[in-house]
Each structure stands twice: as structure tokens, then as C-alpha cells.
Structure 1
């Protein structure tokens, strides 16, 4: 089969692992930068075309014939990347996380709404319009508070405000910069730790406990956190799978935080990294992703 991975950094561990695994399984895989693509709509067949330019001054060439796409682009490329997913889907290619699911996960407030709508436990959260007074919004919850920009990854755009006055100041500053932010209760009892659950289809294939570094409230490995292998209980497993399903994802990194009232879904990642969790768990997650994609393609062919 012929796969296309959309990624701006092909040298990253996750991209290299998926490329090597796909080739080992007998498939062809291209890794292309979504920002080097031109999407074309026309009245005469084919209606959806994609052209790729390797570098400035070079003639672009037509992309076609992909059985499936694997999106691995960052938040800065979300709009272009998702437009590409829709374009290729119109050509008949399958996506390991389609455009709608990807957009659901990339917008933190939208994802929280969908999770809560599905009956899943999430931290108490607030999102105010630009004309809603910041100090009034802050009064509707208790401190400390976590401020999160609606788009961001690897812990970037996540700020701890220990006092109400700090939260108000941060909200006003970000508001002046037209950066939308949500407010969320700080789960102190979690001790700067969370659970990263790697979900493929209807299974949690690997999990690890992430512990934040010294003087760091974020557990992200990119912020100095460390990981250790963990076995989830039945409730944690059920919540992780349900969270991925609620956003429509085939593959997800579901982050759970353990509160005094039980596990809460903190965040759902549509393109979770493989390096730390593969090394921590000892599980070949890249292979499981490719096998799942093979089965998805086979099921699609059978249906037609």
C-alpha cells in the first residue's frame, strides 16, 4: 500500500519509527510538508487535486494514489493540514484521524465540550467572551487556576495563576493580544503528575505515568517530566477509550489526571508522540498503528 505522512519534521522519532515500520511491513510511505502543498478545486474530473513543491523555484508535481494518510503536523499547520486531509478524503484516501476529529482535538475548549457532552469527567473549566469582565470570570471558580490557550501542545500555552489577581492580569494581557484562553481548576492533589494513555481504535495499547520536573506543575516530557510504566485500572481504561471515541479519533494520546473525585480527562492529543511512551512501556506502538491502518483499509475495501 501507499501511505502519506503529513509532517514538517521528518527527522522526529515518531516519523522515523512510522516510516521504518511501514516499509518493514512492505508499504511505501512518503513524508511531506503540508505547507508545501497547493490544493486545487476544478469543475472537470478530477475535482480535487494536490500539488507539491519541494523548494522555491522548483516545478510542483501532482500528488495522487495514496491509500491512506497519517497526520503528524503541529498546531501551527492545523488549518492547512486539515484542508489537505479533506482534499485527500475526497479523492478516496483514508485518514488515520480524519479532519473533523483532528480539529476537535486541536481546539481545547471544543474538545472539553465534546467530552462533557459524552458524559466524561473533565476538570471544572470556564471560557469567557472578549467582552466578559476578567475579574468577574475569575470569581466564578477558585484559585489556583490554570490558564490554557485554545491551541498549543507540549505544555506550551499552559500557565499557572496561583492568585486571583494574577489570573485577572494574565487574562487581560492575553485578551489584549487577541489570544483566546480557557480557565481550569488546578488539581493540586495530582502532585504534578498525569497518566498518558495511548489509544488505538477501541484499545489502550500502552500507558505511562508522567511526573513533572522540579518546580514544574506540567507533566509533559517536553517540559522536563519523566515517565514510568503503569497499568491502568478498568475505570481509567474505559474513560481513555471513551474520550478518544467522543472526539472521533482512531489514534489518541489521552491525558488523565487523578483528582480526589476520581480520574478526569485533562486533554486529548490527535498526534501523540511515540518516543517516551515506546521507551517507557517497551511496546512497539508504531507497528500497532500500521496494523490498525491496514485493517481499516481492508474493512473499507470489503464494504465497497
Structure 2
């Protein structure tokens, strides 16, 4: 019997189109639902009740966890789980949970004020990275190479309108110019790609169009990915790693990962892998 899947997202990007087009061959009907059109909140009724499962791919760092929480309350099967999405949306909370489970993460300081920022700069001498607690795709991530420029840059943080936008992390800059994206479907590591900067921008985020190539199998990577899954549970994740002199650390985990770069670098049919996982979950 064909299963019905709702992709809840703010738009149809390349990944969503791949999933929609792959659906019929996998015994799935896949429909996009705008994440701004749901008006959830009544515990026993939901606009998503006609679907067998909800694939939550909202790129908003405020909508995803809220929608997943309310959809689960009303009885919908949501992938990823509300708990996992809420953890992934907050870098400070996620890193704390991973660190408690002995999964390696970068050193960081939570910065909620200029005094926090000044203290972080004393504890981590530049170069350091300033990044928002809520956010992704490399946006508003700043490399501070010079202490003289640091407080001028922080002026821009103070001018942001909302407190959640002002919450930041400061961490040492891990030089090396590459990051590793691990794409997980269910509890399987389906593809690993290395991203390197392709131009003047120091950030090596795939969303910025930087260079990618398939990465070799690495038992250390597999061990870290399994540690992340022990914390979050099975799901669909993009786990981003940095390599240090002491080994890999988890920079962040994306709960609605873009997978075009990994698919193109590795040749993995990610849409088929996700479809197979959805069928397995619903069987």
C-alpha cells in the first residue's frame, strides 16, 4: 500500500524535488506543505493528520522544533523527532548534550553580553570564531583574526533586534581549511564528503557553494557518528566535523540537511536512501 509523506518546509529546493520525484518508485506519495500554513496547537486535530509520516525539513531555526513538537502531540509520526530537532536547533544545548555523552566537540563559550564576549576573548586569544547559537548554512559566522576589530564587530550583534539572535558562541579558530559532512539516514552513514573553501571566503560550508569530494572510510568518523546517534536517535542528519591535532570534533548537526553536495561527490542516491528509510519506519 502506498504511504503518504508530507515534506514540511519553507520552500521546495533541489533536495525536496528529488524526494518528491523519487516517491512513486518507492511506493510513496510525497507532498510539500508550507511550514507557514499549519496553525497547529489543538492537541487532537492537525492539518497533517492525513499523512502517514511528516518529513520535517524546515530550514528555520525557530519553526522546526515547534512544528515537530505540536505535530507529535497530535499523533503524527515526525522525522526527525521533535527532541532531536530541538537539540540540533541550539548549538550550545547540542554541544552540551554531546559532550556529556563523551562525543568530542570544540571548546566554546556562550556569549550573551559584551562582558561575556570580552571574557571569551581573554580565554581564547584570536583568531576566534563568533557564531550564532541559532542558525546554519554559514550565515553570520565571523572569523576574528585581530583583537582590535573584535569589539567593533560585536556592535553588530548588539544591534540585532531579538535576544535569540544575540546569543552567540565564541570558539577557537580550527585552521585547516576543510570540514567533513557525514550524511546519516536512519542509523546508516550513507555518504561522507570533505568540503574545502573554493575562493576568498574562509568558510567551507556546502551551502556557500564550496568544493566537495568524497572522503575515504575512517573508523574514527564512524565512531563519532554512532556517538551522535546515541544522543539524537535514528533520523536524517548532516553531521559536520572538523579535524584537529587530537582527532575529529563535531561542529554541528543539521536536522534538515542539504544533501546535493554529498550526493554529487559520492554518487549516492540519497533520495532513494531516505525513501527506503521512510518505508522501513512505516512498515
TM-score by length of 2: 0.91
Q: 1:92: how far off?
A: 2.8
Structure-1 separation of matches of 2:21 and 2:69: 26
Q: 1:68: how far off?
A: 0.6
Alignment of structure 1 residues 145-184 onto 2, 5 Å? 145-177=128-160, 178=163, 179-184=166-171
Structure-2 separation of matches of 1:93 and 1:176: 39
TM-score by length of 1: 0.85
Q: 1:260: how far off?
A: 1.2
Q: 1:7: how far off?
A: 1.3
Structure-2 separation of matches of 1:280 and 1:159: 27
The DSSP-based 3-state class of the residue aligned with 2:36 is: helix
Q: Is the 8 A contact 1:97 1:250 kept in 2?
A: yes
Contiguous gaps of at least 5 residues in structure 2: none
Q: 1:19: how far off?
A: 1.0
The DSSP-based 3-state class of the residue aligned with 2:225 is: helix
Contiguous gaps of at least 5 residues in structure 1: 42-46, 52-62, 299-304
2:68 alignment partner in structure 1? 85
The DSSP-based 3-state class of the residue aligned with 2:96 is: helix
Higher RCO structure, 1 or 2 (CA under 8 Å, sep 6+): 2
Q: Is the 8 A contact 2:114 2:154 kept in 1?
A: no
Q: Deviations over 1:105-161 (max 9, x none)?
A: 011111111111111111111113337343222101121000001122211121100
After TM superposition, the runs of 4+ consecutive aligned structure 1 residues lying more than 4 A away are none
Q: Is the 8 A contact 1:213 1:225 kept in 2?
A: yes
Q: Is the 8 A contact 1:144 1:162 kept in 2?
A: yes
The higher radius of gyration belongs to: 1
Structure-2 separation of matches of 1:128 and 1:9: 32
Structure-1 separation of matches of 2:136 and 2:65: 17
Alignment of structure 1 residues 250-269 onto 2, 5 Å? 250-269=235-254
